[in-house]
Structure 1
Amino acid sequence: MGIGKRIREAREGCGLTQKQLAKKIGVTSSAIANYENEISHPKETVLYALLDALQVDANFLFQDCVALEKKVVLSQEDNDFLQKFHALDRHGREVVNAVLLLEYQRSKEESTRHSSMPLNIPFQVSSQPASAGTGTYLGPDGFEEILVEPEQVAGADFGVPVRGDSMEPRFHNGDIILISMKQPVEVGDIALVTMDGCGYVKKIGQDELISLNKKYAPIPMTGDVRINGKVIGVLSSHD
């Protein structure tokens, strides 16, 4: 049984003819016939008037429109709201509909905004800084996790804090440089280098480590030199 047959059942239960029901809700008797024969369906405002005139709720009219396992049952709160809505005059219903539309749009926009926000992921950052100066001792390996947006650290294996100003203006004290261990490091690249136990973030020269800040002289590469990865980006402390 569809909504049309439910309308007919409720109308007959109220002892109303199609013409009498049409007069009650402000439509033509042919419109009622079309609803009952499911040639057309009542608009929202007419539907509310139908529920009111037939003294039934939405559950009654729509109980056959969905499969049993997908059936939507109105809560007592929903039914209370509908009863109050039906008791309003036309002006009251227009006000409620206007407020409802505004709140629906606001809620939908808020939901869309939250769903589009990127989820933060954990990212490992060394607890020991690398020097953008004359060298910082890198003690035993240790990392801590920070939460970042995935796009901020794409391609990076870990981060290292910068200490000093020798790589200004590109990197500043307190920045976290992003290190890739997968990308090859060539002369002219900026890399994380350890030399005799001290860590540096420097531009790689032929046989020296070069600072971007001109007040610092190049550091000759001597002793135990290891290139730990290429600098591919930065989480700036100045953002």
Structure 2
Amino acid sequence: MKNIGDTLKRLREENGLTRKEAADKLKKLGIDISDKTLYGYESGRNSANADMFLSLCKIYKCNNIMETFSETVEDILFTNNEWEMVEQYRALDPIGQSHVDSVLDWETTRLSSLKEKDERIAELQAAPATIIELSSHSGSRHLAEYFHDASAGAGIFILGNEAAARIAISDSDWDERTDYVIRVNGDSMEPDYKDGDNVMVSQHMELDYGDIGIFVVNGKAYIKEYGETELISRNPDYPNIIVHEADNIVCMGKVIGKLEGKYEIISN
């Protein structure tokens, strides 16, 4: 099946409509919707229910839905179970339908976030951190990628593919699970992690509630405790980060310790 979000965006643009203009047309059909919700449909973060989908096709003058959205006939066919679910949905009152819509939106967003996380992990695994052993007077050392910074406060815009430097870690302080090292910026995670601390991060360990992780929220990196609905600051003087449905959040790994011994930061 063709990507539904991309196809909806293409149809809108072919009709010369902005998202706001498309939302205004839907409102004339009795459907109250925002241009932000339309963006959610086009980006794949949310899914339009059947009534909304048909209304969009109507204002976009899409007469052949099967040909427009499907590569083959099989893509558009429903199983008996799917037909039964559609019939049950139509039998619900508006409140019931809104509950189902909320669950579908939540699950779609969850899967989209998992996909983004998996893609990021695959990208990092394809270009793993450089870790080698070097001989020195103080014993063997290990090199890993070094980033600065992860915010313990308002957020730092980092963690693309760039490593600011490499860090040479002494054998006694090395943890073989380390994928990269990142510096803490700010004091919202005190007393456990202080401004200027360098923490070791593993990208392959499972993160449970209560663990400390590196998170990128809407393009800004934070070191925070993983909570059920928020990212937690351990310093009570700082607020937690509430995670909203529309936020783009990716976990970049679990913090497994901080460097206490000798290390050397090496410029690229």
Q: TM-score, normalised by structure 2?
A: 0.43
Which protein shows a greater Rg?
1
